[in-house]
Structure 1
Amino acid sequence: MNSKVFRLIVLGAAAYALFVFLVISFYPDKPENMDWQDREQYNKVQITKLRLGSTREEVLALLGSPDITEAKLENSTTIQVMFYRTQHVRADGLTTQDECTPLLFENEQLIAWGEGAYQSYLNS
């Protein structure tokens, strides 16, 4: 009887391990479902993977919806800046621009990111 109980325990552990593996493999963690601390870390890592010239849609697929966004039309050129939270500044329950990294797009193409990108947006 001890070998029967042991086999059931091993079978149960194997079934559990298979279940965990399948959930991790086929249920991707989306940025929208993360808490703010995990989202900050995720954004920091993903922003380091960006390439100039990436499309707005590629960035949205990688990072999800921005925390803050601004846009303007200037001489038939669409200029948009999207802010993604990357650093905690104060515990007030709000995400502000100083807690975010700005990504600058011109005609749907990523042309810059970081504080200089936002200054470029303001000065254009």
Structure 2
Amino acid sequence: MGKAFKIVLAGFTIYLVIALAVLQFYTANPETMTWQEREVFNRKYISRLELGEGKDGVLRLLGPPDISEAHETDDGDLLILFYRTQHVRSDGQTTRDETTPLLFRNDVLLAWGESAYTRHTGSPLR
């Protein structure tokens, strides 16, 4: 093998090791993202959620919600965390119609989305 090939091979190996280390150990921080990046991040991870997940795990993954509220229902207290997932207006504020609600009962993910919010709270999202 020629000297140039060995240098290229060594460079590629170093690049590969660094790339794998970044992919393995880098954790995205939603709090440092732009609102556009955060919307994409939130949509991506909300689509991967499963019913029954714990609130603490969701908070660790998605970070603090943009909006939160709680409701008393006949079935028990309901905690709703709203995460920004779609842009509606450029007014500098996140409103409920720009978010996806995640509903928790007893710190367990019960449902998410606009229809789930309406069904469990008895009021429309907007």
TM-score computed with the length of structure 1 as normaliser: 0.77
Number of equivalent positions: 122
Identical positions, percent: 47
Q: 1:8 to 1:66 in 2, by over 3 A?
A: same
- CA offsets, 1:39-97, max 9 Å, x none? 10111111111111111112112211111000134569321110000000011111110
The residue type equivalent to 2:54 in the other structure is T
Give the Cα–Cα distance (whole angstroms) in 1 for the partners of residues 112 and 31 of structure 2: 21
Q: How does 1:64-75 map to 2 (within 5 A)?
A: 64-74=63-73
Q: How does 1:95-106 map to 2 (within 5 A)?
A: 95-106=94-105
In structure 1, stretches of 5+ residues that fail to align are none
TM-score computed with the length of structure 2 as normaliser: 0.76
Aligned partners of 2:73 and 2:121 also within 8 Å = no
Shift of 1:118: 1.9
Report runs of 4+ in structure 1 exceeding 3 Å deviation.
7-25, 72-76
Give the Cα–Cα distance (whole angstroms) in 1 for the partners of residues 14 and 82 of structure 2: 43
The residue matched to 1:71 in structure 2 has which SS?
Answer: strand
Give the Cα–Cα distance (whole angstroms) in 1 for the partners of residues 78 and 99 of structure 2: 18
114-123 or 87-96, which moves further after superposition?
114-123
In structure 2, stretches of 5+ residues that fail to align are none
Please tell me whether Structure 1 or Structure 2 has the larger radius of gyration of its CA atoms: 1
